[in-house]
């Protein structure tokens, strides 16, 4: 996730202080990706170092306001103009868990798959419920639409994970069947 670019995008609307940026980021993403305030200020420090933002002023409460610079606008424009690269597969904990479980004594890989499927299915139902609530509010623009898009991404990711788990289970069953010694009948599936 690009916190850097997210903060730059929020600063287009005008100068903001760190905790306001955090609140706006979480609101814009529907609370899906909560930020630690330390992440915000560390990122702002790097953006300032790189000339993307500048300290603008101090508000009435004494909080430092950060403003987008021309270099920051150019960086943000380049981010919007270029596709997100997905060059290599991310280190996915579930994939690692499954491949490690294949060679582990006393681990039923199919049970690992089933446990994950139950978990993801519950999460999918929750995402669908939250999406229905967001749709009921008739989001036409702004934060409502942003929240809806994030929720839909969560739904699609969960659906894809369930499909992959179904595929893994089918592959494991075929493998188990092929590994059966001759003369021993495998139960019907």
pLDDT of residue 147: 82
Average pLDDT over residues 144-149: 83
**pLDDT surpasses 60 at 40:** yes
pLDDT of residue 33: 80
Query: Given pLDDT bands bounded at 50, 70 and 90, which one contains residue 135?
Result: confident
pLDDT of residue 46: 97
What DSSP designation does 140 have? -
C-alpha to C-alpha distance for 101 and 109, rounded to whole angstroms: 6
C-alpha to C-alpha distance for 149 and 147, rounded to whole angstroms: 5
Q: For Cα atoms 141, 24, 49, give the angle at the middle one, nearest 5 degrees.
A: 125
Q: For Cα atoms 148, 146, 17, give the angle at the middle one, nearest 5 degrees.
A: 140
Q: Residue with structure tokens 């100068």?
A: 15
pTM over 0.85: no
Average pLDDT over residues 12-23: 95
pLDDT of residue 182: 52
Query: Given pLDDT bands bounded at 50, 70 and 90, which one contains residue 185?
Result: low
Closest CA to 66 of 6, 3, 14, 2: 14
């Amino acid at each position: 996730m690009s916190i850097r670019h997210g903060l730059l995008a929020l600063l287009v609307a005008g100068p903001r202080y760190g905790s306001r940026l955090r609140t706006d980021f979480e609101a814009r993403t529907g609370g899906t990706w909560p930020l630690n305030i330390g992440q915000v200020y560390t990122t702002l420090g790097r953006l300032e170092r790189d000339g993307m933002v500048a300290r603008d002023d101090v508000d009435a409460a004494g909080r430092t306001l950060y403003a987008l610079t021309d270099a920051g606008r150019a960086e943000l424009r380049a981010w919007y103009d270029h596709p997100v690269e997905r060059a290599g597969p991310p280190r996915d904990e579930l994939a690692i868990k499954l491949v490690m479980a294949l060679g582990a004594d006393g681990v039923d890989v199919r049970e690992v798959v089933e446990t994950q499927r139950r978990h993801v299915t519950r999460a999918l139902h929750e995402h669908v419920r939250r999406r229905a609530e967001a749709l009921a509010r008739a989001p036409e623009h702004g934060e409502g639409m942003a929240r809806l898009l994030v929720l839909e991404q969560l739904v699609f990711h969960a659906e894809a994970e369930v499909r992959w788990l179904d595929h893994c289970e089918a592959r494991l069953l075929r493998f188990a069947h092929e590994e059966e010694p001759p003369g021993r009948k495998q139960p019907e599936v």
